[in-house]
Amino acid sequence: MSTITESVNVTVPIRAAYDQWTRFETFPQFMEGVEEIRRLADGTLRWRTRIAGVTREFDARITEQHPDERVAWKSLEGPTHSGVVTFRRLDETTTRVTVQLEIDPEGFVEKAGDRFGALGRRVKGDLRRFKTFVEGRGARTGPRTGARRRRGGRRTPDPGR
């Protein structure tokens, strides 16, 4: 099992960073190898990835979600992985986004890539692309664009709707 931790500072308010991150369907726009994410019932997300020519589909469940603070998940099938993304307000317009990922790679190619740091580089690149993506959208990433603001497993009232 490998643990990867990467951070990036984004020049948007914490709410904009959190709201954009929780629009999981947009991940293919900034995450390399992610082809599609669909929301299923009960906080479950269906992922389709294509990495090194290998296509995988798997489900992951949101295990913890606190608006403007953190989102955690755990895979239900496929490669064993879990993680948490935290959001820390640095000032009114800057947020630190930190991803901590634990993964047990499957197959020869994934294990070799993990040994040579490919997964860590991928996470770092995904965060750089997220920075470009969210900063390009600015404060427009609020709930009106489809982000869901949840606390724990329940939907919280959203004054923006």
Given a contact cutoff of 8 angstroms between Cβ atoms, the answer to whether 80 and 99 are in contact is no
The larger pLDDT score, comparing residue 143 to residue 79, is at 79
Question: 91 near 10, Cβ under 8 Å?
Answer: no
Tell me the pLDDT of the chain averaged across its residues. 82
The pLDDT-based confidence of 50 (bands split at 50, 70, 90) is: confident
Q: Is 78 a member of any domain?
A: yes
Residue 158 in domain: no
Helix axes of 118-137 and 107-115: crossing angle, nearest 10 degrees? 80
- Is residue 145 situated within a structural domain? no
- Tens digit of each residue's pLDDT (9 = 90 or more) over 104-155: 766 555 555 555 556 788 899 999 999 999 999 855 544 433 445 555 544 4
**Pairing of the two strands 34-39 and 44-51:** antiparallel
* CATH code of the domain in which 25 resides: 3.30.530.20
Structural domain includes residue 154: no
The pLDDT value recorded for residue 130 is 97
pLDDT band for position 11 (50/70/90)? Answer: very high
- What's the pLDDT at 152? 52
Q: What is the pTM of this model?
A: 0.80
Confirm whether 155 is domain-assigned.
no
- What pLDDT score does 112 carry? 52
Residue 125 lies in a domain: yes
Q: Residue 118: helix, strand or coil by DSSP?
A: helix
CB atoms closer than 10 angstroms to residue 115: 11
Determine, yes or no, domain membership for 147: no
Q: What is the number of domains present in the chain?
A: 1
122: number of Cβ within 10 Å: 18
Categorize the per-residue pLDDT at 53 as very low, low, confident or very high, splitting at 50, 70 and 90: confident
> For residue 113, what are the domain limits?
2-139
Asked if 68 and 143 count as a contact pair (C-beta separation under 8 A), the reply is no
Burial state string for 128-141 with b = 16 or more CB within 10 A and e = fewer than 16: eebbebbeebeeeb
